[in-house]
Amino acid sequence: MNVFRQFHALTKPRVIQLIVFCALIGMVLAVPGLPTLADVRLAAIASLGIWLVAGAAAAFNCIVEQQIDSRMKRTAWRPTAKGELGNGRTLLFSAVLCCVGSWILYTQVNPLTMWLTFATFVGYAVVYTVILKPLTPQNIVIGGASGAMPPVLGWAAMTGEVGPEALILFLIIFLWTPPHFWALALYRVEDYRKSGLPMLPVTHGNEFTRLQILLYTLVLFAACLLPFIYGMSSWLYLVAAVALSIGFCIYGWRLWREYSDELARRTFRFSLIHLSLLFAALLVDHYIF
């Protein structure tokens, strides 16, 4: 890799894309009707600021987990794990991204969005990565609060407040996170065992993890109905939410009844489709109805 690609890899681009996408969902839903040119400009600036701070958190995560990453096949390619980028340069890169992104959010968006985004940075890079991840098998559950924040950030950027609608979106992602990551951990269990991280399949076994995935998909099903119940969406979203949630529950049920690594991989991939299409349905519903 050249230096630019190395630094770009530190930001975990695929993860950042999902974060910004979820933040955009919050921004769009916070604006009734079609957005004005001023709304579009504000959303673009807020997305840039959130992207920069999220990238800073990802880079800091690479420093903290450098040794762990080097022992896992899924992450051994990262520049910090391979020793291609030193901790000093990576820390400087993370600090610059965080400062620039925070400045953009504070001066060009609003202070609430900046402080919420910075709190998310601390929650992910410090509370989750440094404290929770190596300490408890519930790391994904508790740390999922940071990953569920993007729609709240987007809502705050456009309205200057955190409404109940934003909290519903937060709840959906919060409940989606454990079955999503535990499905990955099931077929990557040896990687996590080598790393020394207390992921649920390592500490409590395959069968217990599969049961937790099934239970979470059922609770998530109920949470996905909340936008319709609260009046955020119409029947179009409800149909999509029910179909996608039934699909996720079926994967959870099959995984619980008869395990295979291939089925765990398919469950993990479907979880990404589930969240993406669920929020896409919210967007379509928002503009059609």
Residue 226 pLDDT exceeds 80: yes
Report the number of distinct structural domains present in the chain.
Answer: 2
- Residues 200 and 160: their CA atoms lie apart, in Å, by 38
When mean pLDDT is compared across 20-34, 109-123, 171-185, 187-201, the lowest value belongs to 187-201
Q: Please tell me the predicted confidence (pLDDT) of residue 69.
A: 67
- CATH of residue 133's domain is 1.10.357.140
Asked if 10 and 153 sit in the same domain, the reply is yes
Asked if 170 and 93 sit in the same domain, the reply is no
Asked if 150 and 269 sit in the same domain, the reply is no
- Residues 135 and 196: their CA atoms lie apart, in Å, by 10
Q: How confident is the model at residue 161 (pLDDT cuts 50, 70, 90)?
A: very high
- Residues 232 and 89: their CA atoms lie apart, in Å, by 45
Contact 69, 35 (CB under 8 A): no
Q: How confident is the model at residue 77 (pLDDT cuts 50, 70, 90)?
A: low
Q: What percent of the chain has pLDDT over 90?
A: 62
Q: What percent of the chain has pLDDT over 70?
A: 97
- Residues 137 and 80: their CA atoms lie apart, in Å, by 25
56-70, 91-105, 183-197: which has the highest mean pLDDT? 91-105
Domain that holds residue 69: 1-162
- CB within 8 A of 131, min separation 6: which ones? none
Asked if 132 and 188 sit in the same domain, the reply is no
Angle, helices 111-122/150-159, rounded to nearest 10 degrees = 170
Residue 134 pLDDT exceeds 80: no
Q: Please tell me the predicted confidence (pLDDT) of residue 1.
A: 53
Asked if 27 and 16 sit in the same domain, the reply is yes
Q: Please tell me the predicted confidence (pLDDT) of residue 103.
A: 97
Asked if 198 and 246 sit in the same domain, the reply is yes
Angle, helices 13-30/37-64, rounded to nearest 10 degrees = 150
Burial class of residue 67 (count of CB atoms within 10 Å of its CB; 0-12, 13-18, 19+) = exposed
Give residue-wise pLDDT tens across range 229-278.
999 999 999 999 999 999 999 999 999 999 999 999 999 999 999 999 99
- Residues 156 and 138: their CA atoms lie apart, in Å, by 28
Instruction: Please say which residue of 119, 138, 162 terminates a domain.
Output: 162
Asked if 171 and 143 sit in the same domain, the reply is no
Asked if 137 and 207 sit in the same domain, the reply is no
Give residue-wise pLDDT tens across range 27-63.
999 998 888 999 999 999 999 999 999 999 888 888 8
Residue 187 pLDDT exceeds 80: yes
* Mean pLDDT across 164-170: 95
Contact 157, 113 (CB under 8 A): yes
Q: What is the mean pLDDT of the chain?
A: 89
Asked if 10 and 100 sit in the same domain, the reply is yes
Q: Please tell me the predicted confidence (pLDDT) of residue 7.
A: 81
Asked if 288 and 192 sit in the same domain, the reply is yes
Residue 16 pLDDT exceeds 70: yes
Q: Which pTM does this prediction carry?
A: 0.89
Q: Please tell me the predicted confidence (pLDDT) of residue 130.
A: 76
